[in-house]
Amino acid sequence: MYLHMGNDVVIPLGEVISIIDLTEEPSELNREFLKTAEEEGFVVQLSDQPVSIVICAANIYLSPISAKTLYRRASSSEFGIRD
């Protein structure tokens, strides 16, 4: 199955490690993690105003889609594409 992340980006669901909500102020640990990942070139920015972080095996995506919606999509075969 695959997960649509926004802006025509689709990733294999098996690569998703974590989905983090950004609607509240990120913790100091999350800010440090994002800064390091960005410096090392792992961050893929899908929006100027991201509302969630999706940590995957290869990249970290800043998505315009809410964490709640992404979780629901990941849990639902309606939005998944079977391989």
Higher confidence at residue 25 or residue 82? Answer: 25
pLDDT given for residue 81 in this prediction: 46
State the average pLDDT over residues 43-69: 95
pLDDT, tens digit (0-9, with 9 covering 90-100), for 5-49: 989 999 999 999 999 998 888 789 988 999 999 999 999 999 999
User: What are the residue ranges spanned by the domains of the chain?
Assistant: 2-75
The one-character DSSP state at 80 is -
Enclosing H/E stretch for 33: helix 28-39
| 10 Cβ contact partners less than 8 Å away, ≥ 6 residues apart | 2, 3, 4, 81
Q: Which amino acid is at 66?
A: S
| 75 Cβ contact partners less than 8 Å away, ≥ 6 residues apart | none
Residue 77 confidence (pLDDT) above 70:
no
